[in-house]
Structure 1
Amino acid sequence: MTISTSAPRSAIRAIVTGHTRGLGAALAQSLLQRNIEVLGLGRGAHEELASLHPARFTQAVVDLADPAALERWLAGDTLNAFTLGAQCVLLVNNAGTVDPIAPLGEQDPLAIARAVTLNVAAPLMLANALAATRALSADASRRIVHVSSGAARNAYPGWSVYCATKVAGFNVTSAQTHVH
């Protein structure tokens, strides 16, 4: 993955997780149509966005449900290279999973761990990395959006893990709002 340096960089840049389908793909497309550079993070690539917006779209294939994989990616230079010189960086933590869907006692422990990592730990790790990056000037703006759902406020049978992670995400947002 290479960050284009030949063309003028946009002042506003966005990082979108889960950019390959659904809401994440729609958000990435909408941002690109507004001439905002996008860095997509996900388990796969979005070839159509890459071909339609080669100068403004970058993507990294990283399994956000694997904390070691995300830690390795964060240890690299892609985040700093992407954000360098931006006046505003938007992080959209969109990737998530509703699995495992099952009653308590019937949920796969590994699926629970992956869901908690993807829905809670990865957004925290990315937000922390963006807040800490030295590639942005002191007056540059950092905006962090954690995509949520009604499951943060309403319990659904069999969705205990998803509901719990969405409540956690809601509280992360609340805590970050009070600090920053």
Structure 2
Amino acid sequence: MHTSRRSATLIAGALAAVAGVGTVIAQAAPASGVSAPSACRPANHLAKIAPDRAESGHLHFRVTLTAPQGYAECRLVGSPTDVAFAHHGTPLGITTGRYGDQNTIVTFGPGRPVHFDIRVPHQGHGAPADEASFTLGAPRGAIPGTSVAEGRFEVTAGTVIGPVRPGA
């Protein structure tokens, strides 16, 4: 019988602990009772690369990020970092720089797409690529994880990445 009381006490304690945690979670959640995951996390957005308008001496490729419904808006700033390019899964080894205003904060989320530019010097001999991986920046630092965008484009030495801007 002593074992039964001890088991009952442990179970009651565990239930009380779970109830207490549930109370804390409910108080921290928004009024809807459910907190949506951030659209800025790599698993929570989609990214596609498409050719953009070329200018004298440069090719431009637009990387557009969209977030499906159900994710929370978030803030991004500056050019993505740790950018790497690949073609059919083979890394290309191109190092990138950054250009443009690195301090403008933009809001990203469902119905609020953002984009950034891959600016490639047009030297007539760029390497074909079909994937870019990168780390997004937030006002308080880098967002954990690596985002991946797919689409046909080309890169070469001297490729630079523009800052994240609002719109598709």
**Same fold per superposition (TM over 0.5):** no
* TM-score w.r.t. length of structure 2: 0.28
Q: Radius of gyration: which is bigger?
A: 2
Choose between structure 1 and 2: higher helix proportion. Answer: 1
More strand by share: 2
Relative contact order, higher structure (CA 8 A, sep 6+) = 2
TM-score, normalized by length of structure 1? 0.27
